[in-house]
């Protein structure tokens, strides 16, 4: 049996190409793979693009369905600088910050900007330390690694 190729398929109103170009501009090692033509030469049917090795398809499906928080893309970051960079870029020009590292970009796509430290600290075997990290995270909008570490180290 062959292994299937699975790609996220994102339904946008009529701005799939703008969204794909926006995402490609933010993430390193990203590119537009192809643009699918439509009967309207001004608006393509969709765009296949790649963000650091992950292929996605952005589709112009009209206003029938909209993106919701039920689907999000998670970005694992190694440093606070990465968290800050992606957070700023994805909330620019009309994006909306939310809680616990979540945000919605200007196209309505939900993202989770999550430092690896969050996962490491909140899964610690010491339940009290892990619990303090979770409580700290629940009070945050953008995740702050130093704040997580402070909560972890508190006694």
Reported confidence tier of residue 1, pLDDT bands at 50, 70, 90 = confident
pLDDT tops 90 at residue 2: no
Reported confidence tier of residue 9, pLDDT bands at 50, 70, 90 = very high
Catalogue all structural domains in the chain, each as residue range(s) with its CATH number: 1-65 (3.10.180.10), 67-155 (3.10.180.10)
Q: What percent of the chain shows pLDDT beyond 70?
A: 100
State how far the Cα of 64 lies from the Cα of 71, in Å rounded to an integer: 17
pLDDT tens-digit readout, 102-140: 999 999 999 999 999 999 999 999 999 999 999 999 999
pLDDT at 40: 85
Cβ atoms of 140 and 99 within 8 Å: the answer is: yes
pLDDT at 3: 78
pLDDT at 99: 96
pLDDT at 110: 98
Residue 91 contacts by C-beta under 8 Å, 6 or more apart in sequence? 97, 103, 105
**What average pLDDT does the chain have?**
95
Q: Tell which residue, 60, 69, 64, has the closest CA to residue 10.
A: 60
Write the CA distances from 89 to 22, 111, 123, integer angstroms.
Answer: 9, 12, 29
State how far the Cα of 122 lies from the Cα of 105, in Å rounded to an integer: 26
pLDDT tens-digit readout, 14-62: 999 999 999 999 999 999 999 999 988 888 999 999 999 999 999 999 8
Neighbours of 19 (CB within 10 A): 23
pLDDT at 143: 98
Tokens 């299937």, residue? 4
């Amino acid at each position: 049996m062959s292994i299937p190729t699975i790609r996220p398929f994102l339904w946008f109103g009529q701005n799939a190409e703008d969204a794909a170009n926006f995402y490609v501009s933010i993430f390193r090692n990203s590119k537009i793979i192809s643009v699918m033509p439509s009967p309207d030469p001004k608006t393509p049917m969709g765009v296949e693009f790649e963000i650091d090795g992950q292929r996605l398809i952005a589709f112009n499906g009209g206003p029938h369905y909209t993106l919701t928080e039920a689907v999000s893309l998670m970005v694992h970051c190694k440093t606070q600088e990465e968290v800050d960079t992606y957070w700023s870029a994805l909330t620019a020009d009309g994006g909306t910050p939310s809680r616990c590292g979540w945000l919605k970009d200007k196209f309505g796509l939900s993202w989770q900007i999550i430092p690896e430290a969050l996962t490491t600290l909140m899964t610690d075997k010491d339940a009290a330390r892990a619990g303090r990290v979770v409580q700290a995270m629940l009070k945050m909008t953008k995740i702050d690694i130093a704040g997580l570490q402070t909560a972890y180290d508190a006694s």
